[in-house]
Amino acid sequence: MKKHSVKTISLLLVLILITSLLSACSSDPGNSGTASGTETETQESAPSEASSTPEEVSADESAEVASEESAEAASDESTEVSSEENAQDSSSENTEKQTSEEPAEPVSKVLVIYFSHTGTTREVAAYLHELVGGDLFEIVPLKPYPEGYSAALDPAKKEQRENARPAIKDPIESIDQYEVIYLGYPIWWGTVPMIIHTFLESYDFTGKTVVPFATSGGTGIGQSVEDIRSEIPDTEVPDGLLVRNNEAIAPWLQELGLIQ
């Protein structure tokens, strides 16, 4: 009885073991199918993840268009700035060209030059200058004379006796450009002050016209004009005018044909 029980139990265990093995074998294909299905799903879903949605494509295209428009706008701005700079450069060049092509101011051909001790001849020269124009220049002695007419007579007489040539302070640089020179002075001891001789001997007056005018308390102008003509013989020296009144100047100039 005991032997049969043992056999029965042993058979039951073997059956249970076989049943377990068969169950395990039958579950493997199922698991394999599941894994295969998962792999297939993964492969099928991969292209979906790699591909972009219509919304994403549209956004990319919009970004590209915006980038292109920004580049074009920047290019247009650069072109405008370049055009403005070129226009400014061209304008500057034209301005410089116009400036360089502007004619120079005409050189004055008239000079009013004078020596005055008390200021009387200076006033006459200024009035004459208003009528004839040109340049105005004063002859100033390097060593000033004593103030006042009477105080200057003795030094002036001494210079005349010694045939002196008083130095001129800051003399005019050149008279080459002038065609007509109006020369004014006071009458000292019957003729021109000796500083007028200094002026006449310092320049070339050939071919020019020197027009004398003078002021005096009583002595005439005749001798002074002759002395000037002797000093510059190659120069036209018309009869001068002893100015006692400025109103006489314009008719005198008209008579000489120097103004209309």
- Is the pLDDT higher at 260 or at 97? 260
* pLDDT score of 88: 57
The pair phi, psi for residue 114, each rounded to 5°, is -155, 160
pLDDT exceeds cutoff 80 at 20: no
Which range is least confidently modeled, 101-115, 154-168, 209-223?
101-115
pLDDT exceeds cutoff 50 at 224: yes
- Quote the tokens at residue 161: 């006796």
* pLDDT score of 11: 72
* pLDDT score of 93: 55
Q: How does residue 69 score in pLDDT terms, banded at 50, 70 and 90? A: low
**What is d(CA 24, CA 140) in angstroms, rounded to the nearest whole number?**
140
Q: Please state, rounded to an integer, the average pLDDT across all residues of the chain.
A: 78
Q: Is the pTM of this model over 0.75?
A: no
Which range is least confidently modeled, 27-31, 182-186, 247-251?
27-31
* pLDDT score of 105: 57
Asked if residues 85 and 108 have their Cβ atoms less than 8 Å apart, the reply is no
* pLDDT score of 12: 73
**What is d(CA 138, CA 113) in angstroms, rounded to the nearest whole number?**
6
Find all residues with CB under 8 Å of 251, minimum gap 6, and list them.
Answer: none
Cβ-based burial of 183 (10 A; exposed 0-12, middle 13-18, buried ≥19):
buried
Q: How does residue 6 score in pLDDT terms, banded at 50, 70 and 90? A: low
The pair phi, psi for residue 59, each rounded to 5°, is -65, -40
- Please list the alpha-helical segments (H only) found in the chain: 2-50, 54-101, 120-132, 149-161, 194-200, 222-231, 249-255
Element (H, E) at 140: strand 135-141
Quote the percentage of the chain above a pLDDT of 70: 62
Asked if residues 120 and 186 have their Cβ atoms less than 8 Å apart, the reply is yes
* pLDDT score of 167: 98
